Amino acid sequence: MKIYTVKPDSNFRLMYPEEAVYESDDWEFKCKPLAGKLPLHFEAYFNEKSDKPFPDIAWIGMNTFAFRADVATELVEILEESGELLPFKVDGDIWYCLNVLQKSESSVDPEKSSYEINDGETRFGLKQPAFIVKNLPKSPLFKIREDNYTNIYCLDHRSSESDIVNNFFCAVAAHAYTGVKFEEVFNDESDR
């Protein structure tokens, strides 16, 4: 089993929500429901000054991602198991913003993790999490308290066919979706 952080692929255009939504108090993805708080079908746009290609999955700020409608439809079971899909429009086309709601309060081992500051009493700035496998959530994507629910973590567990079918990492690779990359942060070989 491996765990990755999901990152934007800088070889593709980034997406931006309309200013009123971005500046609102609700534009914060910290494992709290946003359905009914963000405007239904808000607008977003790609950087038009860029000559980079358009992605299938776009970074839309606050370390979250937007999925083109066909991509969201293909991955709906994986995405809805991890959070909520919030519809919005880009040039009249429907996209879905993923708000990850699955979180883990006790899956990081503070003694084995590395921090920017760790004086024995105070730990601050998680650099490299060490996970406690038995405490990991069952969802394909999740966030952790130790980094203030900032990064999206992807669980790559392949012990069974069901694990593979419901695996975000495998689904993105199998469909060759663009716009995201995966940075390995944990590897537990005992899963094999």
Structure tokens at 111: 């003694």
> Which amino acid is present at 156?
D
pTM: 0.92
Structure tokens at 3: 């765990």
Query: Which segments within 150-189 are labelled E, that is strand?
Result: 153-156, 180-187
| pLDDT tens profile 48-86 | 889 999 999 999 988 899 999 999 999 999 999 999 999
Per-domain residue ranges for the chain?
10-100, 103-191
CA 153 centroid distance within chain: 6
pLDDT of the residue at 192:
38
